[in-house]
A = this chain, B = another copy of it.
Amino acid sequence: MGIIYSDLAVSADGFATGIGQTEQSPFGDIDENWLHGWMFEATEENQAEVDAIVDSGATIMGRNMFGPIRGEWDRDWRGWWGPNPPYHGPVFVLTHFAHDPIEMEGGTTFHFVTGGPEAALELARATAGDRNISIAGGARTVNQFLALGVIDQLRLHVTPYLLGAGERVFDGLAAQPLERIAVRAASTVTHITYGPVRGR
């Protein structure tokens, strides 16, 4: 059996987004490099962590991570990742608006789940086999699954910036001990993996 994990880039002050999220700026009114620059500017030294992000047999994401459309599906949208997304397996997108599955190149299929996080998790479990399940984001979706108490590994990628405002990872969780499973300091980002999160 695999584990359920989530990767999240967070600022030194604990924010996984800025404020003022819009369709065009899903991470809000910040320089997105302040959260994710390490993935693109220092690819080689962070390759192991970047590879691990998509090393899953099934993936769950919030609708805002899938794309900028809100409300009814009023135009064709197939994700941010081009014809061959990096997931190479089923991706369960949480939404209130039903949509037919979208099959992409390389084995990625986007499925649209209207039954909520627990329904998505059940579907992911049924398809992941022995592999891990990734809760890919965004911050609010990860927080929902943390609150459910189902995350075995929370992999924080802590960047040396203060955002000052935004969405926090841990809001609403119970006081609890965690296990610190791993730490690795790359040149700017600090990778810290925490163990099972019990939830609310």
Interface residues of A (CB under 8 A from B): 12-14, 18, 30, 34, 158, 160-165, 168-170, 173-180, 183, 185, 188, 190, 192, 194-195, 197
Contact = CB atoms under 8 A, between A and B. Distances in A.
When all copies of this chain in the complex are counted, the total is 2
A156 to B, nearest CB: 8
A65 B26 CA distance: 42
Given A30-B175, A190-B192, A180 B162 contact: no
A194 B30 contact: no
A113 B29 CA distance: 41
A111 to B, nearest CB: 32
Given A13-B173, A185-B183, A194 B164 contact: no
Contacts of A180: 160, 185, 188, 190
24 contacts: A12-B170, A12-B192, A12-B194, A13-B169, A13-B170, A13-B173, A14-B14, A14-B168, A18-B175, A34-B177, A160-B177, A160-B178, A160-B195, A161-B176, A162-B170, A162-B175, A162-B176, A162-B197, A163-B175, A164-B170, A164-B173, A180-B185, A183-B185, A185-B185
Contacts of A13: 14, 168-170, 173
Contacts of A168: 13-14
